[in-house]
Amino acid sequence: MVALLDVWVGARYCAKILRRESTPRLATWLIFEIGVVMSLVTYFASRDHSVLKAALNLTDALVVTSVIAALLIEQRGVTIRFTRNELLCLVISLITLVAWAITRTAWIGFVGFQVVMITAYLPTIEHLWDVKRGAAPEPVEAWSVNAVAALIGVVIDGTGRHDYVAMLYPLRAFLLCLMVVGLVVRWRAKQKGLVG
């Protein structure tokens, strides 16, 4: 069910990009792709894996790849430029990926994945903080649905099997999605002249 919601939100997000109703940062989605690949490879390398259990991870891969494709289609013919901070975030993510690929240890994989996924949000957060006018920088409904889905994951992990390590994934996603939602709301208020 959540995997279908993931695909639906991703499709709407891509449509907003292609209609130029949203201007997300490519760096964020490239870093998400690194994180999703790390997660998928780590999961399928484990002994206890199945496509059904990995459904959300697989749909994440589909959505992230689709968002990157939509961004590249929308920006075709334009030189893609990254800010200094975006380049730094990309380098940090690649170093983390290489460290994990070399060591193949579970804790480096887990910590590395968390580092990559936190780093992925930074270009979007920076962009939302600095953006002045123009098309909406991010669709608030997509990030809101992601925040709610992550919160459901926190509640399930916290009340069910009490797997606190597993709970870190949705907790991180919830807090960072909530931050993005707050910054989009702040941007909208600035557009209406409600915030200075």
Could you read off the pLDDT of 9-35 as tens digits, one per residue?
A: 999 999 999 999 988 999 999 999 998
- How many whole angstroms from its chain centre is CA 96? 17
- How many whole angstroms from its chain centre is CA 129? 17
Q: How far apart are CA 67 and CA 15, in angstroms?
A: 9
pLDDT over 70, % of the chain: 92
Rounded to two decimals, the pTM is: 0.83
Q: How far apart are CA 31 and CA 112, in angstroms?
A: 12
Mean pLDDT for 68-85 is 90
CA nearest 119: which of 153, 151, 95?
Answer: 95
CA nearest 38: which of 79, 85, 98?
Answer: 98
